[in-house]
Amino acid sequence: MADIERLVVGPLASNCYIFRSGHELAVIDPGGDAERILEKLREPGGKVRYVINTHGHIDHVAADQDIIAATGAELLIHQDDAVMLEEPDNNLSGLIGLSMEPISPSRRLADGDKIIVGHDVMKVLHTPGHTPGGVCLIGNGFAFTGDTLFLESIGRTDLPASSEQQMRASLDRLRAVLSKKTVIYPGHGESGLFSRALLVNPFLGDVWPA
């Protein structure tokens, strides 16, 4: 069974996850504090296969370069958010006073792609709304939902390239795909069962006004 460890990183308290399955690891959304992340990666060892960005905003990608340089991992991001890595002016870094060098992903993800880490397979679900290339990573009993879905809220849709209409459609997709027993691991805040999100998150019901 996979082991999932959360680190809260960067100035916007983003969740970075270290996903371990067998002898392989993936780092999901390393948004800052690269040395803290690398220290955790060294503890039990194992091969870091991937750095995966659920979307391209700076608070989820800021430590990409450092993690890749130290581990040789491949960098994965959806094809519609790759521009935020290649042209960092697009990733909101200026708004919070951060900067990063341009970087090209090793693999551009598309809806339905599969990512294999150790004994686990994660399916890519394209969930635009917060960004054009936002994704959720759906595994066996768990889902990394990035800034598409938090336990009690959702990611902002008033940012450049965001779309409320797309966010509504993405949340509908998630409701159709996720089991109530799925544990969601969001981009900010605490993890929890999807059944709890259905109870406490107004954006998943009929409360969100049209």
- The confidence score (pLDDT) of residue 2 equals 86
Single pTM value for the model: 0.96
DSSP letter string over 43-71?
A: TT--EEEEEE-SS--HHHHTTHHHHHHHH
Residue type, 19: F
Enter the tokens of residue 201: 């998150």
Segment 188-207, tens digit of pLDDT? 999 999 999 999 999 997 64
Domain 3-204 part of CATH 3.60.15.10: yes
DSSP letter string over 74-139?
A: EEEEETTTTHHHHSGGGTTGGGGT--------SEEE-TT-EEEETTEEEEEEE--SSSTT-EEEE-
Enter the tokens of residue 74: 């491949």
The CB-side HSE value for 196 (13 A sphere, CA atoms) comes to 12
| pLDDT tens digits in sequence order for the chain, 210 residues long | 789 999 999 999 999 999 999 999 999 999 999 999 999 998 877 899 999 999 999 999 999 999 999 999 999 999 999 999 999 888 888 777 777 899 999 999 999 999 999 999 999 999 999 999 999 999 999 999 999 999 999 999 999 899 999 999 999 999 999 999 999 999 999 999 999 999 999 999 764 555
CA 164 – CA 59 distance, rounded (Å): 21
- The confidence score (pLDDT) of residue 210 equals 53
Residue 161 — φ and ψ, nearest 5°? 75, 5
Task: Map out the domains of the chain as residue ranges.
Answer: 3-204
26 contacts 51 by C-beta, under 8 angstroms: yes
